[in-house]
Amino acid sequence: MKVDKFSDLLVENGFFETLCTVWEGMEVAQEDLQQQNSDLEADCKRAQEALHESEERFRLLVAGVKEYAIFRLTPDGYVVSWNAEATKILGYQAAEIIGQHFSCFFTPGDIHCGYPEEDLRIAVAEERVEEDRWYVRSDSTLLWGSGIVTTLRDEGGHLLGFSKIVRDMTSHKRARQKTNDELELRVENRTTELSKANEQLQREISERELAAAQLKASLQEKEVLLKEVHHRVKNNLQIISSLLNLQSEHMQDKQARESFQVSQKRIESMALIHEKLYQSNDLAQIEFDDYVQDLVDSLFYSYEVNSSAIARKTSLDKVSLDINTAIPCGLIINELISNILKHAFPAGKSGEFQVELHNNNDNQVALIISDNGVGFPLDFDFNQTESLGLQLVNTLTAQIGGTIELNKSVGTEFKITFPAR
- What is the contact surface with Mg ion in residues (CB under 5 A)? 339, 389
Spatial CB neighbours of 208, under 8 Å, sequence gap ≥ 6: none
Nearest to 49 by CA among 57, 60, 61: 57
In whole angstroms, how close is the CB of 289 to ligand ATP at the nearest point? 22
Task: Specify the stretch interacting with ligand ATP by CB under 6 A; choose among 113-121, 268-276, 287-295, 336-344.
Answer: 336-344
Decide: is 367 part of the binding site for ligand ATP (CB under 6 A).
no
Name the minimum Å distance from CB 300 to ligand ATP: 15
Is residue 303 involved in binding ligand ATP (CB under 6 A)?
no
Rounded Cα distance between 341 and 311, Å, is: 11
Residue 245: CB minimum distance to ligand ATP, A: 16
Site for ligand ATP (CB under 6 A): which residue of 367, 412, 417, 418?
A: 412
Residue 385 binding target from Mg ion, ligand ATP, none, CB below 5 to 8 Å by type: ligand ATP
Pairwise CA distance, residues 265 & 298, whole Å: 9
List 123, 373, 413, 416, residue binding ligand ATP (CB under 6 A) = 373
Residue type, 295: L
Give the Cα separation of 123 and 404 in Å (integer).
106
Closest contact distance (angstroms) between CB of 408 and ligand ATP is 9
Does residue 376 bind ligand ATP (CB under 6 A)?
Answer: yes
**Site map 239..268 versus ligand ATP, x via CB under 6 A:** -----------------------x------
Query: Residue 75 contacts by C-beta under 8 Å, 6 or more apart in sequence?
Result: 159, 160, 161, 162
Nearer to ligand ATP, 16 or 380 (CB): 380
In the complex with Mg ion, which residue's Cβ is closer, 375 or 389?
Answer: 389
Output helix, strand, coil percentages for the chain, rounded to the nearest 5.
60, 20, 20
275, with CB counted inside 10 A (0-12, 13-18, 19+), is buried
Do 382 and 406 meet the contact criterion of CB atoms below 8 Å apart? Answer: yes
- Paired with 407 in beta bridges are 413
Contact residues: ligand ATP, CB under 6 A:
262, 335, 339-340, 342-344, 371, 373-376, 385, 387-390, 412
